[in-house]
Amino acid sequence: MSELVIVASDLYLARSSRERTGALALPGLAGLTRFGVQHELRTGWRAWLARYCGRPDLAGCAPAVIASAAVSHVAAVPSYLWLATPVHLTASLHSVHLDQAGILHLEGTARASLCESFNESFAELGYRLLPTRSGDFIASGPQLSGRIETTEPARRLGSSIDDALPEGAGSAALRRLGAEIELWLHGHPLNIAREREQRAAISTLWLWGGGAFASVRTANGVASVQAPPELFGDDSYVEGLARLCATACERLPATVATVLARAARRKVVILEVFHLHAGCGAAGQALERLDRDWLSIALQALTDGRIAQLTLIANDRRVTMTARSRFKLWRRRRDPLAALQ
């Protein structure tokens, strides 16, 4: 059975989303949430994707460990890895805020220069920074003692980060490292150049998704039950997962039509909604473009029989619809965003 999966990887809805976005034109999302079958993803979309790719053994691995599989120049085996996401933060009198477009993706030359500068500045502490294709980084360094829980920055887009700092017995050391990185970036030549170009400065590198490097090795060589799906997107975790599944992760195409034209029976698209539509202005406009350019077209492909099943993953929810689902007219219409909460 042919299936298209669209993962809105940065679409996490606060309880107040309905009030903030107002009445939006989201016919594709409305159809999916009305007629589709919804399941909660308690461990998030990454663990689900690992299982969908036929690698349940990777579902519990730390995101940074999986992402490192796509970075060929990880030389010496480090004790620990973190995903290091560049973010732009804004401060108010009462809190620090991560804007909807606050996750930054650096171009190749900027990534290389930032890594070189970081590796010179933090070498004595045992840390190195490695660039990924998607525009973020992997930080490698000594393992910190004690349990540490971190929050993915995409889960705090458009909200305060006051409750998103690392937690756990070992979190104090990671917080100190984050503070040092923030001080290092303040007045950094790259930020001076970005501000001169009227671009958002890099406030810090958000460290999250850490894990021991050795854990990825135990996953190699595991036989998959079925061929992995065709993957599209610019996400370091997905790139690493593709490498571990012996398949490719292609760059995100301009339109869903390119994906639908591919012959693979299972296709997965990873979309960063607020990065893809960064020029849209308000969050609601980005959601409307997601619906118009991706969901509505994919829903029409389901109706036309070009695909047999359509799945949307957003806000730790998986909504799956088949062509027959649209005949379940007894299902009442709901606000599509409220349906995902």
Last residue of a domain, one of 170, 192, 214: 214
At residue 130, the pLDDT reads: 93
Whether 82 and 207 map to the same domain: the answer is yes
At residue 283, the pLDDT reads: 77
Exposed e or buried b per residue across 252-276, where buried means at least 16 C-beta atoms within 10 angstroms of its C-beta: beeebeebbeeebebbbbbbbbbbb
At residue 74, the pLDDT reads: 59
Whether 131 and 172 map to the same domain: the answer is yes
Whether 199 and 246 map to the same domain: the answer is no
Last residue of a domain, one of 214, 237, 263: 214
Whether 106 and 205 map to the same domain: the answer is yes
Residue 220 lies in a domain: no
Whether 120 and 185 map to the same domain: the answer is yes
Residue 221 lies in a domain: no
Whether 299 and 198 map to the same domain: the answer is no
Whether 76 and 206 map to the same domain: the answer is yes
At residue 262, the pLDDT reads: 92
At residue 174, the pLDDT reads: 94
Whether 74 and 191 map to the same domain: the answer is yes
Whether 243 and 139 map to the same domain: the answer is no
Number of structural domains (the chain) is 2
Residue 61 lies in a domain: no
What's the pTM?
Answer: 0.91
At residue 218, the pLDDT reads: 40
Determine the structural domain holding residue 308 and report its residue range: 3-55+227-339
Q: Is 75 exposed, middle or buried (0-12, 13-18, 19+ CB in 10 A)?
A: exposed
User: What is the full per-residue pLDDT of the chain (341 aa) written as tens digits?
Assistant: 699 999 999 999 864 444 445 578 888 898 898 888 999 999 999 999 999 999 999 999 999 999 999 886 655 556 789 999 999 999 887 889 999 889 999 998 999 999 999 999 999 999 999 999 888 999 999 988 888 999 999 999 989 998 899 999 989 999 999 999 999 999 999 999 999 999 999 999 999 999 887 655 444 455 555 688 999 999 999 999 999 998 889 999 988 999 999 989 999 999 999 887 555 556 788 889 999 999 999 999 999 999 999 999 999 999 999 988 665 655 667 777 777 77
At residue 139, the pLDDT reads: 95
Residue 60 lies in a domain: no
At residue 330, the pLDDT reads: 53
Whether 183 and 254 map to the same domain: the answer is no
Report d(CA 6, CA 156) in Å as an integer: 21
Residue 183 lies in a domain: yes
Last residue of a domain, one of 183, 214, 245: 214
Tell me the pairing of strands 230-232 and 249-250.
parallel
Give strand pairing partners of 129. 139
Residue indicated by tokens 């619809």: 321
Whether 50 and 126 map to the same domain: the answer is no
